[in-house]
Chain A
Amino acid sequence: MTSGGAVTLAGVEKHFGDVHALDGIDLEVCAGEFVSLIGPSGCGKSTLLRIVADLEHPTGGTALVGGKTPQQARLDQDYGIAFQQAGLLEWRSVTENVELPLHVHGVGKADRRARAAELLELVGLHEFAGSRPSELSGGMQQRVAIARALAPSPRLLLMDEPFGALDEMTRERMQAELLRIIGETGAAVLFVTHSIPEAVVLSDRVVVMSPRPGRITEIVPGRRPGARAATDLVPDDVEDVRESGAFFAAITAVREALRKGHE
């Protein structure tokens, strides 16, 4: 199997019994690319992400993750995943939570500790290494979950509304943090969200989906700062992006694509 793409989906279908969730999804996520999936509730965007993660199986078409089947990619730990809930284990310290993927895969304690320290530094939580998850705020817990997802140094990060439960200010700060972290790791990201501004500010490309059965209505270029796909303007700061005319133009484009999907 030869495919340079981080994710390659060809004609992916998903039926849950009589419910037709996904219909003919073709999508390629390149290495290092940030792609958001956006659409109304029930459009199958989470299902699509879960197919890539091998947590669901497509009923038609093919999905490849780094050229492998999703199952092989999961067994090889080629991707990291973050869910809407941080899902930290309350009985483990912050460090031990970040270490979990390495612990499961038999990495020695000294190496685990070193990697966790590095990641906690990256997400700005090194002071909380010994804390319990319950002592952290929601945003901090989500940063621990992202550090955990990055622990095995995956080339692909799957994120299912990771900031969905956070307040707007925390959310904007987390978006800037995520861009910085991804910039340092160079991983490709497939990101599910309900928020148009979030999709636009983070992504190289925003994939707009229609209501059930989920189809790709349109792919709108995002405004990820410093990214290759942001053609006419390359602002160096997330705040600049949020206040730029191109940002609002992209938001309008996504909104129009979403409305088109409803017709």
Chain B
Amino acid sequence: MTRAGAVPGAAGVSAGRSERLAARGGALRVARVWPAVAFGITGLVLWELVVVLGRVPAFLLPPPSAIVAQIGAQAPVIVATTAVTGGNAAVGLVAGFVLGVALALLAARSRLFQDLATPVVLAASAVPIVALAPVFTTMFGSTTEVARRLVVTVLVIVPVFVSTARGLRQVQPVHAELMTSLAATPWQHARFVRLPGAVPYIMTGLRLAAPAAVIAAIVAEYFGGLQNGLGSRISSAAANTAYARAWAFVAASIALGLLFHLAGLLAERLVTRGLRT
């Protein structure tokens, strides 16, 4: 409906229609969401019933009611630990994003660098990067967040590099010839054509990397260091047989992952929509 104004005479007609469409869209969205919500609630109720009626031991599976009670009791701690882990994920995400884009630009710029960097980055994607966590913790000391942020950074670089590199290769031949005819330098070619053209690909890389950053930040905490994040709380609660509390922190982890996923999705939508209109 953004173009309605460009068609004279149609604007007035389409305004009313767009409201109706929006209302219908809202109804449709509710209609699409409620089965999933109902399914989730049914699942929780069944879970509760199975645990209570089946006398499942708490270390095997605590009931949702106990987890919810723990979330209430631990609320300040959960918020604080989620902030720490979320902060690590965010710092690593930004650093990895910047490095991934920069490396892809260098690779597009120089053939030699591309031949050197591409295999390394692709090999990095095959290595389980969280395996580096204990090594980094030893390297940077167990009283800082550096090791965890570094794990996130390394993990984020890969999808951002791969999708940015792909975007930078999608130059239309007519644009390449135009820049040649304008005697543009390689840097101008990157600035005027390659980089803006790659933006949708770069944003896709960011969207893919965002939830992965949370996973990496949590898992990195399992390998020692400060006991201030979600991952360390989950492992210490589980070790202390406080199973419902462990699950409460798991629930917070899920929420944090969803938050990053939605933020990535939103950033991608906003940027690519800004380009189209």
User: A interface vs B, CB < 8 Å?
Assistant: 53-55, 74-75, 77, 79, 81, 83, 85, 87, 89-92, 100-101, 103-105, 132, 134-135
Contact = CB atoms under 8 A, between A and B. Distances in A.
Contacts of B277: 132
A91 B182 contact: no
B95 to A, nearest CB: 26
A56 to B, nearest CB: 11
B87 interface: no
B174 interface: yes
Question: Which of B3, B178, B277 is packed against the most chain A CB atoms within 10 Å?
Answer: B178
A226 B179 CA distance: 35
B203 to A, nearest CB: 13
Most chain A CB inside 10 Å of its own CB: which residue of B174, B181, B192: B181
Contacts of B188: 104
A53 B181 contact: yes
Given A91-B196, A132-B277, A74 B181 contact: yes
Contact of A87 (B178, B196, B276): B178
Interface string B229-260: 00000000000000000000000000000000
B3 A89 contact: no
B200 to A, nearest CB: 10
B199 interface: yes
Contacts of B3: 135
B266 interface: no
Interface string B164-185: 0000000010110111111110
Contacts of A135: 3, 6
Consensus secondary structure, chain A interface = loop
Given A54-B181, A55-B180, A83-B178, 5 more contacts: A87-B174, A87-B175, A87-B178, A91-B197, A103-B192
B193 interface: yes
B181 A87 contact: no
B174 A89 contact: no
5 contacts: A77-B182, A77-B183, A83-B174, A101-B182, A104-B182
Contacts of A54: 181
B83 to A, nearest CB: 36
Nearest to B184: A104
A103 B192 CA distance: 9
B21 interface: no
B102 to A, nearest CB: 20
Nearest to A80: B181
A150 B37 CA distance: 60
A233 to B, nearest CB: 36
- B172, B177, B180 interface centre (most CB from chain A within 10 Å): B177
B181 to A, nearest CB: 5
B226 interface: no
Nearest to A73: B183
Given A89-B192, A89-B196, A91-B199, A100 B177 contact: no
A132 B184 CA distance: 23
B182 A134 contact: no
Interface string B94-120: 000000000000000000000000000
Contact of B192 (A77, A81, A85, A100): A100
A66 to B, nearest CB: 15
B6 to A, nearest CB: 6
The 5 closest A-B pairs by CB, nearest first: A87-B174, A91-B196, A85-B174, A81-B181, A75-B183
Contacts of B178: 81, 83, 87, 100
A75 B180 CA distance: 9
A134 B177 contact: no
A3 B244 CA distance: 89
A132 B180 CA distance: 23
B168 to A, nearest CB: 14
Contacts of B197: 89, 91
Interface in B31-84: none
A53 B3 CA distance: 38
B222 to A, nearest CB: 43
A55 B183 contact: no
B275 interface: yes
B186 to A, nearest CB: 12
Contacts of A74: 180-181, 183
Nearest to B179: A104
Contact of A104 (B175, B192, B275): B192
Nearest to B275: A91
B188 to A, nearest CB: 6
Nearest to A75: B183
Contacts of A104: 179, 182-184, 188, 192
B182 A100 contact: yes
A104 B178 CA distance: 11
A89 B177 contact: no
